Chain A
Amino acid sequence: MIYADNAATTKMSQAAIDKMVSLMNDTYGNPSSLYRFGQKAKEALEEARETVASVIGAESREILFTSGGSEADNQAIRSAALLGKEKGKTHIVSTKFEHHAVLHTLAKLEKEGFTVTLLDVHEDGLVRPEEVEAAITDQTALVTIMYANNEIGTIQPISEIGRICRVKKVLFHTDAVQAIGHLPINVVEQNIDMLSASGHKFHGPKGTGFLYARKGIKLSNLIEGGAQERGKRAGTENVPAIASMAVALKEAANKMEKTSAYLTEKRNKLIDGLSKIEHSALNGDAEKRLPSNVNFCFEGIEGESLLLLLDEKGIAASSGSACTSGSLDPSHVLLAIGRVHDVAHGSLRLSLGEDVTDEDIDYMVKSVEEVVTYLRGFSPIWRDLQAGKKQFIL
């Protein structure tokens, strides 16, 4: 069994599991309680906050624990929108291929009177800093651009965008769910005002995440109630899970350089192997992408069939086809980089884990080749393409 869907979620690290279990057993007090039992939990919570902050170059009071990346995205964007509105600024700049946690929040804000500019991400899946700069007006309240794309793994020029936003005095938020723990991030050096993260993408537990918001940025609550998280997120903190996430992040940060070099080599080998399949194409820039991400389109086949057959061969992967997205349209990310519907339905994402071996890569290349050839064998589109009745796109 090869688990190649680490962009969807990751296996928890043993250290993170141990931390969680140990706190569940011994530190079950409520961190808001004043007796020692509660204060011990409070200490664990604040230690986790310290750890998370140190990994991204922030101060611990700038970290707000959430249920995950989606909540952090919602709260960051809502807060910035409200701050803007108070000053009469109702324009937001983002991109066409953000995660739905961002896009759907922006769509709601549009209904509430905001105007949103969604920037093009070009064929290589990269935002152009000069286009960000050009899109900012004196009405702009927020720029929100993801750090690395969740489907095609392209890494955006975050430092340059941060610099532009700082000069223009516009708030800058980045959804760093796919990047944190995998790429070096420093919120101060990169001029990031707000950042969203999710614990289960770096071997931490699901249902955990955090929002970094630079001190001085007033956050609005999504959840009203008690005074937890400096009054910005009510509800008793899931201390064991939060502490576990912090352990996982620290661990990921400590071995980042090594993991990154290892995965980059394996990723490139996988890209080379899959490129040999005729009428296929890599989605997104080949260099500026996450070390773990491989995403291809294969002409003449449909993604869900591909996934089911790979599952039969013991490979867990993902696709941006309509059948896997639950709608009639294929992935908005693939459409945003200019892949037409016919081709976007035949996409495959393999996101590698750090335990992947050369044998695994060879097996994946062989298996994908076999499955693509098999499906093309009875695809009426492939027949038409072969017979010259249709033009190849890839």
Chain B
Amino acid sequence: MALYSEKVMDHFLHPRNVGVIEDADGIGEVGNAKCGDIMKIYLKIDNDIITDVKFETFGCGSAIASSSMATELIKGKPISEAMELTNKAVAEALDGLPAHKMHCSVLAEEAIQKALEDYKSRQGK
């Protein structure tokens, strides 16, 4: 059996939404280099809709795949829906992650939450 599902490998080898949004409305960074995983999410939000999202990740295959999948899941969605994204949903969308890699999906959830909080605090809401 392969280490990762075909979906994980697809998102790892062909990550979606890679990059930076220079004039982002919200940015969230989680993890640290000591543990070997850092995720940074950039959001562009218009009328409470996530119109664009980009990510940068330092980490293993599942960390990159989780970032890619999480950005796909929230792109074009209202903030309220993105707020409800769970790590479980990210892992399920990837057809599962190995048990010791589940923390990668948690990081993706946290990075999005943090970026949304950043957006809200910038809005003064």
Given contacts A302-B60, A305-B59, A383-B56, contact A322 B29 (CB under 8 A): no
Q: Name B38's contact: one of A308, A326, A330, A381 (CB within 8 Å).
A: A381
Confirm or deny: A300 has a beta carbon within 8 angstroms of a beta carbon on chain B.
yes
- Chain B: minimal CB distance from A302 (Å): 5
Nearest residue, chain A, Cβ from B38: A380
Nearest residue, chain A, Cβ from B9: A308
Q: Name A379's contact: one of B9, B29, B56, B100 (CB within 8 Å).
A: B56
Which residues 20-67 in B have Cβ within 8 Å of A in the complex? 20, 29, 33-40, 55-61, 63-64
Which residues 312-333 in A have Cβ within 8 Å of B in the complex? 312, 321-323, 326, 328, 330
Contact call A302/B59, Cβ cutoff below 8 A:
yes
Residue picked from B9, B34, B60, most chain A C-beta under 10 Å: B60
Contact call B61/A380, Cβ cutoff below 8 A:
no
Contact call A305/B33, Cβ cutoff below 8 A:
no
Contact call A345/B33, Cβ cutoff below 8 A:
yes
Confirm or deny: B79 has a beta carbon within 8 angstroms of a beta carbon on chain A.
no
Given contacts A302-B58, A312-B13, A379-B58, contact A321 B29 (CB under 8 A): no
Nearest residue, chain A, Cβ from B61: A308
Q: How many positions in chain B have a CB within 8 Å of any CB in the partner chain?
A: 27
Nearest residue, chain A, Cβ from B67: A378
Instruction: Report the separation of the CA atoms of residues A312 and B4 in the bound assembly, to the nearest whole angstrom.
Output: 14
Instruction: Report the separation of the CA atoms of residues A11 and B53 in the bound assembly, to the nearest whole angstrom.
Output: 47
Instruction: Report the separation of the CA atoms of residues A341 and B13 in the bound assembly, to the nearest whole angstrom.
Output: 25
Task: Give the chain A neighbours of B13 by CB distance below 8 A.
Answer: 309, 312
How many residue pairs link A and B with beta carbons under 8 A? The number is 66
Confirm or deny: B15 has a beta carbon within 8 angstroms of a beta carbon on chain A.
yes
Given contacts A308-B12, A378-B19, contact A323 B33 (CB under 8 A): no
Given contacts A378-B15, A378-B56, contact A304 B61 (CB under 8 A): yes
Confirm or deny: A342 has a beta carbon within 8 angstroms of a beta carbon on chain B.
yes
Confirm or deny: B18 has a beta carbon within 8 angstroms of a beta carbon on chain A.
yes
Task: Give the chain A neighbours of B100 by CB distance below 8 A.
Answer: 326
- Chain B: minimal CB distance from A277 (Å): 17
Contact call B35/A380, Cβ cutoff below 8 A:
no
* Chain A residues touching B, range: 20 to 34
Given contacts A312-B13, A378-B15, A378-B19, contact A322 B58 (CB under 8 A): no
- Chain A: minimal CB distance from B40 (Å): 4
Confirm or deny: A301 has a beta carbon within 8 angstroms of a beta carbon on chain B.
yes
- Chain A: minimal CB distance from B27 (Å): 10
Instruction: Report the separation of the CA atoms of residues A113 and B34 in the bound assembly, to the nearest whole angstrom.
Output: 33
Task: Give the chain B neighbours of A321 by CB distance below 8 A.
Answer: 36, 60
Task: Give the chain A neighbours of B9 by CB distance below 8 A.
Answer: 308
Task: Give the chain A neighbours of B56 by CB distance below 8 A.
Answer: 378-380, 383
Residue picked from B9, B37, B58, most chain A C-beta under 10 Å: B58
Confirm or deny: A28 has a beta carbon within 8 angstroms of a beta carbon on chain B.
no
Q: Please give the residue numbers on chain A whose beta carbons come within 8 Å of chain B beta carbons, in ascending order.
A: 300-305, 308-309, 312, 321-323, 326, 328, 330, 341-342, 345, 377-383
Could you list 13 examples of A-B contacts with CB < 8 Å? Answer: A302-B58, A302-B63, A304-B60, A304-B61, A305-B12, A309-B13, A322-B36, A323-B59, A330-B36, A341-B36, A379-B58, A380-B56, A381-B58
